[in-house]
Structures are given as structure tokens and as C-alpha cells.
Amino acid sequence: MSGRHATPSRFGKLYREVAKFGLVGASGFVVNLGVFNIVTGVLGWPPVRAGVLATAVAILTNYLGLRYFTYRDRDQETRMRRRKEMGLFLFFSAIGLVIENGVLYVTTYGLGLDGTLATNVCKFFGIGVATLFRFWSYRTWVFRAVARRPDHPAPVARGGGATAAEPVLNVPWETSWETSWETR
């Protein structure tokens, strides 16, 4: 099969993932710099403190974009998985926050670049460095693709009435109420 309906290559999937990550990142970038400039300009906060607050706000908005746009097809089947995903996201986001605002700290207090333009340029550079780390860590550890291994059997249907199009997993700790609630 060729053309539009061919199975996308590995490079094509990565390209789309990077593009979606970039769209979410662009919106997070706008939020980050917007909050940063409002907090430093209007409220008069020091650059690094304002940077930490701006990064935290952007992290929250980025999670929604990444979970429900970029990685919506990735594993999130159980409540436990969602908790683990959120914990990992916050952990790696905190590291990204330190990277991003570490650059701002070094340039502001170490190099003395504390003017409005200088702090915005340094914030921009810090966001760029942290974004590379975040892309790698989110796709590697947080929003992991679940690969079906050929040696694992297909899900077992409960009751005799399930069709092949609607498999129901026979998981002992999951009640039918939890299953139906999560699929709404």
C-alpha cells in the first residue's frame, strides 16, 4: 500500500510527535514569557522568582496539551497509571524548571545581565535548553507508548456476549462500574 493511506514510517510518526510537542510547547512558551513579564514588570518580582512562577504555570498548561493532544494515544488505562504518569511528569518538569531557571540565575546574578531585554533573552535560552530535556524525558519516561508483544495473548472477554470489536478485560481488581465510569 502506498500514498496517503500507507502505514506511517517511524520517521513520520516522530515528525508528527515533534510537531505536536512543538505546538504545545509554543503555547507553553507564550504562557511562560507572558507570566514572566507580567510578574516582573507589573509586580516587580526578581527575575528568578518570577521565572519559577512562570515556569510552574506553563508546566500545568503543558500537561493538559501533552496528555490530551500530543500523547492522547499513549497508555493511560488505569488510575494507577495516570497517577504514575502525573508523578513522573511533575518530577521531570521540576528538573526542567531547575535547568530553565538555573540558566536565568547564572546569567542574572553571575553575569549581571539583569535588564528587561537581557532577562527575556536568558529566559528564552533557558526554555530552549530545558525543552530538549523535557522532550526526551516525557517521551521516554512519562508518555510511553505501549507496545503489544506478540508473545502476549489477546485480552480475554468476560461473559459469552462480548464481540471481537468490544473486548472486555478480565481483571479481578477492576469492577464493571470502574470500567464503565472510565470509558465515559
- In this structure, how many other beta carbons lie within 10 angstroms of the beta carbon of residue 143? 22
pLDDT at 164: 46
- Furthest C-alpha separation in the chain: 72
- Give mean pLDDT, residues 124-150: 81
| Whether the Cβ atoms of residue 66 and residue 138 lie closer than 8 Å to each other | yes
pTM above 0.85, yes or no: no
* pLDDT at 168 > cutoff 50: no
Q: How far apart are CA 176 and CA 158, in angstroms?
A: 10
Give residues with Cβ within 8 angstroms of 46, minimum separation 6: 40
Least confident of 23-37, 72-86, 149-163: 149-163
Which has more pLDDT, 154 or 83? 83
| CA angle centred on 142, ends 136 and 143, rounded to 5° | 90
Residue 108 grid coordinates: 542574572
Q: What pLDDT, in 10s, does the model give residues 103-112?
A: 999 999 999 9
Which has more pLDDT, 4 or 40? 40
Q: Look over the chain and give the mean of its residue pLDDT values, rounded to a whole number.
A: 77
pLDDT at 177: 39
Q: What pLDDT, in 10s, does the model give residues 47-90?
A: 999 999 999 999 999 888 888 887 777 666 667 777 888 899 89
pLDDT at 75: 62
Residue 66 grid coordinates: 501533552
How far the first Cα of the chain sits from its last, in Å, is 35
pLDDT at 165: 46
| CA angle centred on 154, ends 152 and 156, rounded to 5° | 125
- Give mean pLDDT, residues 108-119: 91
Q: 112: alpha, beta or left, given left = phi > 0 and alpha = psi -120 to 50?
A: left
Strands (E), the chain: none
